[in-house]
Amino acid sequence: MRGSNALEEWRKDNLNRRPDVNQPQAPPEHLLDVKAVALMTGMSVHVVRRAIRASHLEAHRTKPLSGHYRIHPAHAKAWLDSLRVTPCTVDTPAA
């Protein structure tokens, strides 16, 4: 019986530490997966993964050592903007 009392005390302590589920919580930021970024940018999933592995696109792993990434929309936009090519102007000689 001694062990069950300790277990009950532990449960009471841990239940008191839990956040109140009835209170509204702040919504998590909307993160995109690799496929959503690929659709948003018009690129393939392979290009997006390659950019993540090359540290050109900032991403977060869903679990340590997993291949699943989540990307903040602002980081995807910044990466896409970094790929922008500006046309060069060619000076034509005046006749």
Read off the pLDDT of residues 43-55 as tens digits, 9 standing for 90 and up: 999 999 999 999 9
Q: What is the largest CA-CA distance in the chain?
A: 103
Q: For residues 28 and 58, what is the distance between their CA atoms, to the nearest angstrom? A: 18
Torsion, CA 58, CA 45, CA 37, CA 62, rounded to 10: -60
Q: For residues 87 and 19, what is the distance between their CA atoms, to the nearest angstrom? A: 55
Q: pLDDT at position 28, please?
A: 56
Q: H helices of the chain, where?
A: 2-17, 34-41, 45-53, 73-82
What is the value of pTM for the model shown?
A: 0.60
Tell me the CATH architecture of domain 28-81. Orthogonal Bundle (1.10)
